A and B are shown apart, each in its own frame.
Chain A
Amino acid sequence: AQSVTQLDSQVPVFEEAPVELRCNYSSSVSVYLFWYVQYPNQGLQLLLKYLSGSTLVKGINGFEAEFNKSQTSFHLRKPSVHISDTAEYFCAVSEEYGNKLVFGAGTILRVKS
């Protein structure tokens, strides 16, 4: 069975500093990987996804993630965060197109001025 572990429940960071949100997954087959963001009082919005090909994936709002198959990780990074990046971030994995996503517990990113 698939599972996703987000290693940090909360990450405080100062504005303009770099940030990394960590995600590890377990699966016995090939997977599709996603990062979603949830701003306060809103639904989830896709940040980026890995389906195949290049292991470095670029998404919206300056975020990127690197798929590391040997370490079964898909960490999210941004070189310089803004106050507006304050939100909850979810890593998710799917083994099959159109089928269910398995989510991690989420990481709350708090950007301080």
Chain B
Amino acid sequence: DVKVTQSSRYLVKRTGEKVFLECVQDMDHENMFWYRQDPGLGLRLIYFSYDVKMKEKGDIPEGYSVSREKKERFSLILESASTNQTSMYLCASIGPGQGTYEQYFGPGTRLTVT
């Protein structure tokens, strides 16, 4: 089974702090994604990466950056956390040759910025 893990389930940070959210997948997937989930808005794509050291902006990249130094790991960085970044963050991955076209999701990190 594909496994996508996220470093924390719950995180509380202060305004202005630098925050790192880590995501690791164990299936050698090429593509990885970071989404933000808010009530009534569904999931919105922040950034995605289709290879090591490659990244592309999604629909709401402002205030975020990402890092992909190794194929299995995709990090989301909040350079200076703000209260409007309080949200649930979900990581997903998908690999080439997967006939299912299914993105596999991690359990999510609920971030609160105070």
Contacts and interface: CB of A to CB of B under 8 A. Distances in A.
A98 interface: yes
Interface in A70-110: 90, 92, 94, 97-106
Contacts of A56: none
Contacts of A101: 33, 43, 45, 103
A49 B107 contact: no
A9 B108 CA distance: 21
A9 B48 CA distance: 28
Contact of B43 (A51, A90, A94): A90
Interface in B29-62: 30-31, 33, 35, 40-45, 48, 50, 58
Interface stretch (B14-22, B64-72, B74-82, B93-101): B93-101
Contact of B108 (A43, A45, A46, A103): A43
Contact of A46 (B31, B43, B90, B102): B102
Contact of B102 (A6, A41, A49, A106): A49
Interface in B83-114: 90, 92, 94, 96, 100-103, 105-108
Interface residues of B, number: 26
Contacts of B90: 43-44
A94 B101 contact: yes
A45 B105 contact: yes
Given A43-B107, A43-B108, A51 B101 contact: yes
A103 to B, nearest CB: 4
A105 B44 CA distance: 9
B42 A49 contact: no
A105 B105 contact: no
A51 to B, nearest CB: 6
Nearest to B47: A100
Given A44-B43, A46-B103, 5 more contacts: A32-B101, A43-B108, A90-B42, A99-B31, A99-B48
14 contacts: A43-B90, A43-B107, A44-B90, A44-B105, A46-B100, A46-B103, A98-B50, A100-B33, A101-B43, A101-B45, A103-B42, A103-B43, A105-B41, A106-B40
